[in-house]
Amino acid sequence: MLIFSGCQEQTAKTPEVLSEPNALSPRIQFEETKLDFGQVGPKAINTKELKFKNAGQGILKIIEIVQCCGVFAESDKKEYEPGETGILKVEFHASGVIGIIEKEPIIYSNDPVNRKITLSVKAEIMQKVVWEPENIKLYLNEENAACPKLTIKSVDGQEFAITGIRSTGNCITADYNRAVKKTEHVLDLKVNVEKLPEQLYGEINISMNHPQGESAAIPFNVVPKYKITPNVIILNNLIMNESKKEEITIISNYKEDFEIESSSSENKTIKMIDFNKIENGYKLNIEIIPPPITKGELRFNDIFKINLKGGEQLALTCVGYYKIK
C-alpha cells in the first residue's frame, strides 16, 4: 500500500499583528480537525464539511487557508462574530494513483492562542472498476495471438457502459455497445497479428462512464520470435584496431527451425567468424575491431545485422568505449 502525505507549508500572505491573549480575544474552535474520506475512486471528487466556532469575545478573522495538492479548503466567509459558527468546505480530488493519501491543509486566523490550525485529511484511493487479466501476453504463432477475453466489472455495484477502446498501434480492438450499461462486461479482443511485430509492448485503453472509474489501462507484451543474448554489447577500455571477440546466442522462442543466411555491420566494425547450431537456435562468434578515433570521440557505435533465410532480419547494437590513457 502506497502512502502519500504532506503539503508545502508557508506563512500567511497577509499576516496581522496579533495582540496578547485577553478576555476580548477571538478563539477558533473546531469540532474536529481530522477528516477521513474513506475509500474513494481514482479521479473522483468528494466533499465534506468541518464545523468551527468563534468561542472568544472578539471578531474572528480567517486570514489564509494554505491548500494542499488535491485538497482544497474554503470557509463560508472571512469574519465571525463572538459565538458564531462557521463551516469549512473541504474538497478531495483523488489522483489516479492507488494508495492512502494524507494531507495537512493549514488554517491561519487572528486567534492569538491558535493562530495556526493544521487539519488532517485522509483518503484511500481504490479501484471502483477492476479487470482481469491485468496484463496480457501475446504469441505470434497462435490464432488471435492467444489473446484472452477481457472482463471489466464494477466492485461497487454501479452499472456502467464501455464508451471507447483504443490500443497502441491500433493492433487490438473489440466490439462494444455504448448503450449497454451493466456491472460486468466481457470483451472479446481481436488482435491484428500482422501489426504485432511493430508493437512488442503497448497498452489497451478502455474508456467507460462509471462515476468513479473513467478508464482501464491494460498493458500487453508480445513474445518475439527470437531472443538474442546479449541484446546489447557494451565494451570498455578498447584500443583502436585491437580486436575483441564476443559470443552471441539466438534462440527461437517458438521452438521453430530457422537458418542464418548472412550478416553485415553498418559501420564495418563487426564481422561474424562462425556460427554453430544448438537446440532451437545458434551460437555465433563475432569479432569487433574498434575503428580509429576521430575528432577526439572516445566511443563508437555499430549495428550488427543477422539476415535469416526467408527475409527476416535481427539487429544487435554494439557500443564501445576507448581506453583513456
Going residue by residue through the chain, which has 325 residues, state the pLDDT in tens, using 9 for 90 and above: 444 555 654 444 544 555 677 888 999 999 999 999 998 888 788 999 999 999 999 999 999 999 888 899 999 999 999 999 999 999 999 887 888 999 999 999 999 999 999 999 999 988 889 999 999 999 999 999 999 999 999 988 999 999 999 999 999 999 999 999 999 999 999 999 999 888 899 999 999 998 877 788 999 999 999 999 999 999 999 998 899 999 999 999 999 999 999 999 999 999 999 999 999 999 999 999 999 888 778 899 999 999 999 999 999 999 999 988 7
- Alpha-carbon gap, residue 322 to 101, rounded angstroms: 50
Query: What SS3 state is found at 81?
Result: coil
- Alpha-carbon gap, residue 62 to 79, rounded angstroms: 6
Query: What is the reported pLDDT for 14?
Result: 45
Query: What is the reported pLDDT for 18?
Result: 57
- Alpha-carbon gap, residue 259 to 277, rounded angstroms: 9
Do residues 29 and 113 make contact, with C-beta atoms less than 8 angstroms apart? no
Other residues' Cβ atoms within 10 Å of the Cβ of residue 137:
14
Choose the CATH number for 129-223 among 2.60.120.10, 2.60.40.10, 3.90.950.10, 3.20.20.70.
2.60.40.10
Query: What is the reported pLDDT for 42?
Result: 80
Phi then psi for residue 168, to 5 deg, are: -55, 125
Query: What is the reported pLDDT for 19?
Result: 63
| Diameter over CA atoms, the chain | 96
- Alpha-carbon gap, residue 322 to 298, rounded angstroms: 5
CA 179 remoteness from chain centre: 30
Tell if the pTM clears 0.85, that is, is over it. no
Task: For the chain, give every residue range classified as CATH 2.60.40.10.
Answer: 3-125, 129-223
Task: For the chain, give every residue range classified as CATH 2.60.40.4140.
Answer: 226-322
Query: What is the reported pLDDT for 16?
Result: 54
> Regarding the domain delimited by 3-125, which CATH topology (the fold level of the hierarchy) does it fall under?
Immunoglobulin-like (2.60.40)
Query: What is the reported pLDDT for 10?
Result: 46
Residue 161: all three cell numbers together: 457502459
Residue with cell 497462435: 142
Residue with cell 479487470: 131
CA 304 remoteness from chain centre: 34
- 226-322 under CATH 2.60.40.4140, yes or no: yes
Residue with cell 575528432: 295
Q: Residue 294: CB partners within 8 Å, gap ≥ 6?
A: none
